[in-house]
């Protein structure tokens, strides 16, 4: 598919910047959220299982 050289309207550029700013704010707020202990436990169990599989071990 050929690259299109159509200029982007200034209004579209401003809209993109607003959306990017809003997404950035949301991501920052999400990163501040505490991770539930159950989710951390599941992540640790998954990492342990993956490590064991890579090492060729099974329980």
Residue 19, domain member (yes or no): no
Give the Å distances, CA to CA, from 13 to 19, 28, 40. 10, 22, 39
Domain of residue 43: give its range: 34-58
Residue 28, domain member (yes or no): no
Residue 53, domain member (yes or no): yes
Residue 27, domain member (yes or no): no
Domain count, the chain: 1
**pLDDT tens-digit readout, 2-12:** 556 667 788 88
Decide if pLDDT at 59 tops 60.
no
Residue 54, domain member (yes or no): yes
For residues 35 and 38, what is the distance between their CA atoms, to the nearest angstrom? Answer: 8
Decide if pLDDT at 35 tops 70.
yes
Residue 1 confidence class, pLDDT cut points 50, 70, 90: low
Cut 0.85: pTM above it: no
């Amino acid at each position: 598919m050929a690259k299109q050289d159509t200029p982007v309207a200034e209004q579209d550029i401003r809209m993109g910047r607003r959306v990017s700013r809003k997404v950035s704010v949301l991501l920052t707020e999400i990163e501040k959220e505490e991770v539930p202990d159950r989710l951390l436990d599941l992540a640790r169990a998954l990492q342990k299982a993956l490590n064991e599989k890579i090492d060729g071990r099974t329980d």
